């Protein structure tokens, strides 16, 4: 539904641009005609020179209208070339996901990531022991859980409940860090 509305809005925008362009052309024609007839009345020009001036004005307006799309096309082409030579930079200092094939510099070569699906970028950090690992990986937590049961049967009966209790405790601890 949103795609249809976006397409409609885009087409409406295109129509609006064309209407503005037609309005500009009509305004140019009106100015040319009024200038030509004003010249005929005030300066006493002949009908032949007035019509020649109107024809030249129409030719000028037609040329401007014809070259405007070409200028827009050339401008868009130049903009695309500059965008291609100066691509946007997406920082991944805190990590991220690359979901589409992307090239990256790899020494003197070129690397490719995301070619077989989404790939994660993980920032690395040296620990106090000098080993390199994933930054922000957290610290390890040791949990000691003592269960006292009167016999094996009572322990087996409460095993599911104990497992669920441990799982909830671990999840609460994970959220807190």
The answer to whether residues 114 and 100 touch, using CB atoms and an 8 Å cutoff, is yes
Can you tell me the distance from the alpha carbon of 32 to that of 58, in angstroms, rounded to the nearest whole number? 8
Full-model pTM: 0.30
Instruction: Give, for all 177 residues of the chain, the pLDDT tens digit.
Output: 556 556 656 666 666 777 777 777 777 777 777 777 777 667 766 767 767 777 777 777 777 777 777 677 767 776 766 666 666 777 888 888 888 888 888 888 888 888 888 888 888 888 888 888 887 756 666 767 777 888 888 888 888 888 888 888 878 776 655
Q: For the chain, what are the domain ranges?
A: 2-85, 91-137, 139-177
């Amino acid at each position: 539904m949103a795609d249809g509305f976006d397409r409609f809005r885009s087409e409406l925008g295109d129509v609006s641009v064309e209407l503005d362009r037609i309005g500009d052309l009509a305004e140019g024609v009106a100015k040319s005609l009024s200038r030509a007839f004003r010249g005929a009345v005030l300066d006493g020009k002949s009908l032949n020179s007035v019509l020649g001036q109107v024809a030249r004005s129409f030719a000028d307006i037609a040329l401007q209208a014809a070259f405007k799309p070409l200028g827009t096309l050339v401008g868009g082409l130049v903009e695309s070339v500059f965008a291609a030579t100066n691509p946007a930079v997406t920082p991944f200092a805190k990590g991220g996901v690359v979901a589409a094939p992307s090239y990256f510099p790899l020494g003197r070569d070129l690397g490719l990531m995301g070619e077989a699906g989404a790939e994660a970028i993980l920032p690395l950090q040296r620990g106090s022991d000098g080993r390199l690992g994933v930054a922000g990986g957290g610290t390890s937590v040791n949990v000691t859980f003592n269960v006292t049961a009167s016999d094996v049967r009572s322990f087996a009966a409460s095993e599911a409940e104990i497992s669920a209790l441990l799982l909830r405790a671990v999840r609460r601890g994970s959220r807190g860090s």
